[in-house]
Amino acid sequence: MKKLSFSILLLITVIVFTTSAQKKSKPWQEWSRKEAEAVLNESAWGKTQTETDISELFWRPQGAPDPRSGASNADPLRDERGGATNQATPVKFRIRFLSAKPIRQAFARVIALDQPTEDPKVKMYMNDFVERKFDQWIAVTVGVESRDQRFSAPALKALTSATTASLKNITYLERSDGKRLFLHMYQPPSADGLGAKYIFERIVDERPFLKPGDNEVRFVSEIGKVKLDMRFKVAQMLYDEKLEY
């Protein structure tokens, strides 16, 4: 009976070990585009805030009066866009912790997949980008996407014209205990395709702003009329047994 119990225990141990080995994460260099984009857009380190413009959902002739108010519905912004779309148009704000290694890996993988052939120089640059240290800073990026660029253009314009001075009092990271870490520096979008960069100091009161055991961290800022407000679960931000943020 004891031998049977031991055999069963040994079998369970082998199954658990095998299952654990099978679940070992795939190297980022082998990620598919879908896997890389999932890390960028819907993961512990990258999330999407969607704002939907419904102003073009119902069609009315240009300049015709609104039947409710009698006022003209002429809209200079719509005219600039090129006319009504007659549908609700979502604008997606991609909020990502660039200082988290998985996000840099995902960016690097997408760039690699976009290359027709492997370029050793690009590969070296991407490896350096992935392994870059963020010991002193937390970097959050914000990108804007829409199926109709006419709707994302105002947000992109707001990101381009924003400055550290205009954002520093309305942009912060907030822990679950209410501690807020306000913006240190802002960098508008550039040709690197990473989006606008929000830089925060990592060390606060002589310790890292986040530590294992914290519940969540919240990113808050504004782009034009849109308030960005995204929460990340700290317990889910572990990668290779290290808190990445």
Which tens digits make up the pLDDT trace of 201-226?
A: 999 999 999 999 999 999 999 998 89
CATH class of 44-52+90-245: mainly beta
Question: What is the pTM for the complete model shown?
Answer: 0.78
Residues 224-244 pLDDT 10s: 889 999 999 999 999 999 999
Angle at 121 between CA 31 and CA 143, to 5 degrees: 55
Any idea where the domains of the chain sit in the sequence? 44-52+90-245
- pLDDT tens digits for range 107-148: 999 999 998 887 788 888 889 999 999 999 999 999 999 988
